[in-house]
Structure 1
C-alpha cells in the first residue's frame, strides 16, 4: 500500500496512545517462565501477538480475562513444539533462544521479513559455550535456527554488548532458572541500549527474581529461582510511538493531547524523546495521564547521543530537517541492524527530498535546507519506524510512503490516529 500524505495546516484533538511494545513482549515471555500472571493493557501490535505465541509455545495457557487483560498460566515442564514461528520480532526471537536451549527439546525456529537477515551470532555462540546445540543460517546465525537436544549450564559468561541489548536481556531472563549461579560480564567498547536491559530487570523483579548488578558490566544471577508471576502488571504507554505524534505536533500548528499511562517507575529507553525535543526547543505539559502540545516551535539543532535509544534515530532525523543549524546524531552504529539499516537506508531516502545528510559509521549529520522536494516516493525498507517518520515528514512537506502496512509491527492504528487529529492522506495499491 502506498500512502500519499498531504501537508497539514492544523492538527487538533486527542488520541489514546498504544501500550508499550517492549514491555508487552517482556511481560508475556517472562510470564511464561513460571507462576500465574495477569497482564493489563497489552499492546495489540504484531510483535506483541508474536510474544503471546512464543509464551504459548513455551507451555503457557493464555486466557483473555476481559477487553483489557490477559491471564498467563505457565507450565515449564511442557515439551516444546517442533517448530516455533517468531514472525518479524527480533526481541521475541532473542528471548526465546536461551529459554528453548534450557528445555532440552529439539525445535526449529523460523520467522520472516526483515528478521531473516538480522544477526544473532553473539548470542548463539554464548549458548554453544554454555552447552547448547544451536545453529543458525550463515555466519551471522540469522533465522532459521535449529536447537537440538541439549542443556545449557551456568558459570562465567562473557558476551559482546556493543551490538544489541536483547542478547543480554535474553540471558538474564533464562539464567535464574538454571541450577547454579551465573556471572554475566559484558564486553565490547560500549554497552548499547542499556535502558532496555533495565526494563527487563524491572519486569523480572516484579516476578520475584533477584539479579545483582555489580557494575555497569557485570551481573550476578543466582540460580534455581522460582518465578512467582506478574500481579496485575499494567503495561505503560509507549513513548517511542508517542514520539511520532509529538514530532508532528512540534512541527505543525497544533493543539494535541496524548492520553495514556505514563509510569515513571518503569523506565523506557524511548522516554528520552521528552528531554531530546525539549533541548531542540519544544514545550509541552506532561502528567501521568497525558501529554499536551501546542505547536509549532522553532527548533534548534545540536549533538544528540542516541546510544541508548536507537529507535528514535528516524524521527529525530525528521525533526533535524527543520531545525536551525546542523544536527548530529551519534552513538548509533547498532541502528544499522534493526528492521532496516537506520543510518544508510534513512539517508538514502532523505536524499530524495533534497536533504543534505552525511553518514558515518555510527552517526548521521543533518544540515537543514531552505527548501525540499515535495511529493517524493519514499521507501521505508519494511521498517515501521521509517514508515511513520516519513509520514510525519509528509504532514509538513507532502510525500508518498510505500508499504505503510509495515506499521502494524508496532502501531496498527497509526494512520487512524493521525487522521483523527486532522491529517489527510490517500491510499493506493502497490
Structure 2
C-alpha cells in the first residue's frame, strides 16, 4: 500500500489515545509467561507484540517472529530455560541478517543448548530448553540493550539468579533501567551498581500483580514532529503518559523544546503546544534514545535547521541500516546530509522536491518519521502498511488531525 500524504488545512487540535509501549509490553509478556499470576493492562497492539504473544504459546517446533527484533532477543532467552521444549526461532529475511551471536554466547555461558540452523551468528537458531544453574555472565557494555534485557528477564527463573558484568560504556541505559524497574514492580530483587547488575531468583509472585503499560513514547515522537512543523498555537493532547516514565524516549519532551514544542503533563495526558522558540542548530547524543533519531532528523529538515546527532551505532543493525536509509531519502527531498557509523550531520536545507516517493525499507519508523513533512509539502510513502509493526492506528490518527491520505500507485 502506497499513500499520498498532504495537509491542505492547518492541523486540528485534537486528543489521541496512544497504544501501550511496545518495549514495556514485550517485557511484561515474557514475565507473564514466567509468572502467570501477573495481569497486564493497556498492552501494545503492534505486530511485534502480537508476534511475541503467539510465539510464547508454542510448545515445540517453529516460532517465526517475522520482523520483531525485540521478540527475537527476548524469546531466545525465554526458550533457553523452557525444559523439555525444542524450538527453532526464526524471522524474516532481514531478521536472519541481524546478529544474535553475542546473546547466544552469553546464554551458552549460562549453560544453554543453542545452535545455528543456517549461518553462524545469525537466526534461525535451534534451542533445546533446559535448567540453567550458572549465574555469572560478562558482556561488552556497548551491545544492544535488548541482549542485556533478555538475560535480565529470565534471571528470576535461574536457580541462582544472575550476576551480569558489563565491560565498557553502557548503551541505552534507560531500557536496562526499564527492565529492572518492571522486575522490581513484580517483587524481584535487583541491583545495578557500577557495571554489575544482579537479579535474585524468585519462584513465584505471592500476590496477584496488575501492571498497566504506559503509552508508547516513540509513537508520541511523530506528534511532536507534527506540532514542531505547525504554526504557533497548534496543540495535541496524547494519552496515557506519566512524567516519571520508564521509557528512555520520554526524553524527547526536552529535545523538542529546542524545536519550539512545549510539554505539559496533566491528568495522565501530555499536552504539546507549538511556541515561538526554535534553535537554529541542534546537537544531541542519542546513545540512550536512538529510536527517535529518524523523527528528529526529519523534523529538523522540515524546519530548515541543521542538526548533529551522535550515539547512533545501533541504527546500523535495525530493520534496515537506518542511517543510510535516512541519508538516501532526505537527499531525495533536497537535504544536504552526511552519516558515519554512529552519527548524522544535517546541514540547513530547503524542502525543494514535493511528491517524492519515500522508500520505507520494511522499517515502520521510516514511514512515520517522514509523514509529518506533509505539513510542508505533499509526500508519498511507499509500503505504508509497515507502520503496523509498532503503531497500527498511525494513519487513522493522522486523519483525525486533518491530514489527507490517499492510496496511490
* 1:102 CA drift (Å): 1.4
Relative distance call for 1:127 and 1:278 in structure 2 (3 A) is same
Deviates more, 1:254-263 or 1:206-215: 254-263
CA RMSD, Structure 1 to Structure 2 (Å): 2.0
- Aligned match of 1:281 in 242, 260, 272? 260
Supply the distance in 1 between the matched residues of 2:288 and 2:201 (Cα, whole angstroms).
29
1:249–1:100 Cα change, 3 Å: same
Give unmatched runs, 5+ long, in structure 1: 58-79
Matching residue of 1:157: 137
More divergent stretch after superposition (148-157 vs 223-232): 223-232
Counterpart among 270, 280, 290 of residue 249 in structure 2: 270
**Do the aligned residues in 1 keep the contact of 2:335 with 2:350 (CA within 8 Å)?**
no
Residues 186 and 406 of structure 1: is their aligned pair in 2 closer, same or farther, counting only changes over 3 Å? same
Q: What whole-Å deviation, never above 9, does each CA across 1:136-179 have from its counterpart, x for those lacking one?
A: 35656222111136543323211123130001101011122111
- Report which stretch shifted further, 126-135 or 304-313: 126-135
In the alignment, which residue of structure 2 is the partner of 1:38? Answer: 39
Residue 404 of structure 1 deviates from its aligned partner by 0.6
Distance 2:337 2:49 in 1: 34
User: Counterparts in 2 of 1:19-418, with a 5 A limit?
Assistant: 19-57=20-58, 80-104=59-83, 105-112=85-92, 114-136=94-116, 141-148=121-128, 150-187=130-167, 189-215=168-194, 217-228=195-206, 231-253=209-231, 255-295=234-274, 297=276, 299-300=278-279, 301-323=281-303, 325-418=305-398
Q: CA deviation at 1:113?
A: 5.0
Q: Are the aligned partners of 1:158 and 1:184 in contact in 2 as well (CA < 8 Å)?
A: yes
Q: CA deviation at 1:186?
A: 1.0
How far does residue 235 in structure 1 lie from its aligned partner after superposition? 0.9
Aligned length: 405
Distance 1:137 1:376 in 2: 41
The alignment's TM-score, normalised by the length of structure 1, stands at 0.88
Residues 154 and 318 of structure 1: CA distance in aligned 2, closer, same or farther (over 3 Å): same
Work out whether residues 25 and 92 of structure 1, in 8 Å CA contact, stay in contact via their aligned partners in 2: yes
Call closer, same or farther: CA 1:393–1:230 in 2, change over 3 Å: farther
Query: Alignment partner of 2:4: what SS?
Result: strand
CA separation of 1:370 and 1:346: change in aligned 2, threshold 3 A: closer
